[in-house]
Structure 1
Amino acid sequence: MKNHVTAGVDGSPESRAAARWAAQEAVLRQVPLRLVHAVDWPLDPLLPGVGRQEADRWGDQALTEAAQELRSRHPDLEITTRCLTARPTAALAAEAADAGLLVLGSRGLGGLVGFLVGSVALSTIVATDTPVVLVRLADDPDGPALDSYREVVVGVDIHEACDRVLAFAFEEAERRDCPLRAVHGWKMPTAYQYVPFFDPDNERDIDRSVTHMVDDMLLPWRHKFPGVSASHTVFRGSVGERLVQASRGAGLVVVGRHLRRSPLGNHLGPVAHAVLHHSAAPVAVIAHD
């Protein structure tokens, strides 16, 4: 059973922020926390003089310091550590296989909104079916109390099965006792691009129809999670841009990505890509069929 939260730790301020976020999430879920550090051996040749023992010692120290800090914050939380010799992407993906959630740190874009998504984080996201949350240093959870979380924002698509995405979003909103807002963007059918005069009433009709479809999509989840106040935003335009806007007032943004078994092709999708790089809140990426 996937009953723990895993966080990647590399000693950086971003990874420490991610570990603190993961610890808070583990407390909410009432599950253990596992901290993982991967030593990629042999090391980068740009780091001469750093031997295997020094690298292992540094990794153990990063894990020990992170665990000590988190135990002082959450004395009742069960915390374990693992230092592995493997490429970080492979190690994190393997560790995520039996976890309920993987949390990774990412650098922020300075004064700009969003993340600087490194190759390890991006590769790990597409290498695992486990939900992955990306956290920046600005998302350090020292701020809000457990009863004062901001809303969970989730991107939905009426043309696809979003059960895994909606299940994750509603569960997180329930844990945080906060509202949930579903965001869906639609586009005019391609044929309308060739119509010289378009009746605005048709656009309003389409918008009403899409809104009803989003309502129908959310209905079973509202019944399953009656304590969650769920609303929705339906509009004509780019859902990626609207999710980025909504992230500025959110505590968590949830997006989906298609499972692709082939090593070729885009494994992330334009919406998840845009949100990952520009969100002002932590981002959860949920793999789905």
Structure 2
Amino acid sequence: MSATDKVFAGSVPKLYDEYLVPLIFSVYADDLAKRIAAQSPSDLLEIAAGTGAVTRAVAALLPSDVRYVATDLNEPMLAVARQRQGGDPRMTWRQADALTLPFENTAFDVVCCQFGAMFFPDRSKGYAEAKRVLKPDGAYLFNVWDRIADNVFADDATATLGKVFPDNPPLFMARTPHGYHDKAVIKADLERAGFRDISIETKTATSRAPSAEYVAIAYCQGTPLRGEIEARDASKLEVATDAVAEAIRKRHGEGPVEAKIQALVITARP
């Protein structure tokens, strides 16, 4: 993982929430929220909450007496989530590292994490922390992106940026968001952390956007791809964004566009 892969700062959190969340995250947030609500948790911890896509979806399904703690490593992302959620009395917001959670043992019925495990420097350690704070009969629910070839817009953007920067292609999407999809590896990492009851489900959905430009802004300016592009040539951010938009327009047409997205949804119990 590159040092820039976990940098969600500047204008990235706002653009991430405005563009990327509706494009690829909302459908999986709704799915994860239903799975979490089905567990009827009294105490819920969310790890890597980002700008709160899952937080908002889950909060809408939970009763008024639940205790919901949402955390993220990046305070700028959490600030957007906090603002979007408003003054929900059930919510506690904490800046926290998934590998060293600041909570007591067996404190939560459910721990959840949407598209965060790919960013853990030591995934088994992160999973062990989730297990530590879970009650003995609790559940850890999370999802990760499947391979980039099954996530068409991300693949389009990566291929196009490789042409814009042929000597040093920006590979953030392939390396990190779509770099942790081997089911056997995920299962082994969870078992190493002490989980025994593990299910992994492949879930396919459709990513939709009002235009090719929307998709290009989402990926090139609403993710750490922006930092990769600017590190190569800060003057080429708009050039790179326009190139991705043109590539998507050629492949998917003018006007509204849609393409396949695919993720793995994992439920793990001690």
**What TM-score comes out, normalization by structure 1 length?**
0.28
**What TM-score comes out, normalization by structure 2 length?**
0.30
Q: Which has the higher helix share?
A: 2
